[in-house]
Structure 1
């Protein structure tokens, strides 16, 4: 896995500036980020009903709105399946994952028998849901545990063919990546609702977007 440029050294000033550019400063109200920044800044905190914590083990309409802020749309058929027709099955799959926890703290082997991976596979069997949308839906429910798969991000990190396991290994290899992610989050004065994985995701995504702009 290639670490994003701004996270390769212990000087996280540039990474923190990138996070501030993406999320903006604190704002009043339920959403801690201003609306004039990237719409994705609200993905992590969107909670129009005030029931996100209580709904940790079931998909909701708010989750579909939130992934829309990251420029994807699962469509009405997927919504009907996840929110009504097969909601109980997906709730069971979420419960099997357990509580949210940092991926870097996971010490078990991660393979296709891992509960969160099983959920990804089941989601991808739903019409309208591919790898990107599946990962964003799981990241809504377990933001500390599951990284978002995205063409831009995986292009930067070289993880298009394998994303989850390389990130898990990089967080646990003693290279200091986790410490830099936390330091960048702290320097940008972001709340803990922004997970280590989301910091990595945003810094990589912004690097990829800048690279594409420079090539035009």
Structure 2
């Protein structure tokens, strides 16, 4: 698989975190993100045992909504009710068809628009879930399948040049060079206390903390 031109800037930036000049800072920042109380988002994947644990892996729960709040996003009551009650059966049916596998091993067919993950993402953006929005949808999906589906927000988008589809962007990044997943795993191994965190979230935390610190510095 070749790198899509639209994602060349994003891929180059991702390489900087994993191989290049931003790697050492990423190791420090990710450790601080997950191992201190400075960032509520550090609890997103772990809160209440995780959103992908066996007893809740096929349904959205109140804990998932709270986890999304840890990333700075509030879900309005009308959408919360739709997630937890009104459309819970339809959502659960789709979640059952989304595999638990890392993005760097997943075929494109598991994340494209016609896949169960793509169908669920489109459903969350429908009128059945008012005011939810694309970024909130990615957070909900990442909570349920943290190894396959990435978080996306404004800060990450700004750092990566606003890729059109973050999941496809990362999929093509991983699959165009298998060494990238190995190097990212090696980076995670350098960080104490994050062995249970998915590679996608380690990468997301590295990108987000870098972008957030730049924002804070610019504002000061």
**TM-score between the two structures when normalised by the length of structure 2:** 0.85
Provide the residue aligned with 1:101 in structure 2: 101
Provide the residue aligned with 1:79 in structure 2: 80
Q: Does 1:180 align with 2:183?
A: yes
Q: Hey, what's the Cα distance between the residues in 2 that align with 1:72 and 1:58?
A: 19
Q: Hey, what's the Cα distance between the residues in 2 that align with 1:191 and 1:158?
A: 27
Kept in 2, the 8 Å contact 1:153–1:205? The answer is yes
- Structure 1 residue 197, shift from structure 2 partner: 0.6
- Structure 1 residue 177, shift from structure 2 partner: 2.2
Flag structure 2 segments of 5+ consecutive residues without an equivalent: 1-6
Provide the residue aligned with 1:189 in structure 2: 192
Q: Does 1:166 align with 2:169?
A: yes
Provide the residue aligned with 1:198 in structure 2: 201
After superposing the two structures, state which structure 1 stretch, 122-131 or 152-161, moved more: 152-161
Flag structure 1 segments of 5+ consecutive residues without an equivalent: 25-33
Q: Hey, what's the Cα distance between the residues in 2 that align with 1:178 and 1:156?
A: 20
Provide the residue aligned with 1:30 in structure 2: none
- Structure 1 residue 213, shift from structure 2 partner: 2.3
Provide the residue aligned with 1:62 in structure 2: 63
Q: Does 1:131 align with 2:139?
A: no
160 and 20 in structure 1: CA distance in 2 versus 1, 3 angstrom threshold? same
Kept in 2, the 8 Å contact 1:151–1:160? The answer is no
Q: Does 1:21 align with 2:8?
A: no
Kept in 2, the 8 Å contact 1:12–1:180? The answer is no
Select the structure that is richer in helix. Answer: 2
Q: Does 1:118 align with 2:129?
A: no
Give the aligned length. 205
- 1:149-174 per-residue CA deviation (whole Å, 9 max, x = no partner) reads 21110111123422111110101111
Q: Hey, what's the Cα distance between the residues in 1 that align with 2:22 and 2:214?
A: 21
- Structure 1 residue 204, shift from structure 2 partner: 0.7
- 1:119-170 per-residue CA deviation (whole Å, 9 max, x = no partner) reads 1110111112101110000001000000112111011112342211111010
- Structure 1 residue 116, shift from structure 2 partner: 0.6
Kept in 1, the 8 Å contact 2:125–2:134? The answer is yes
- 1:11-37 per-residue CA deviation (whole Å, 9 max, x = no partner) reads 94332111112112xxxxxxxxx5x23
Q: Does 1:9 align with 2:9?
A: no
Q: Does 1:92 align with 2:103?
A: no
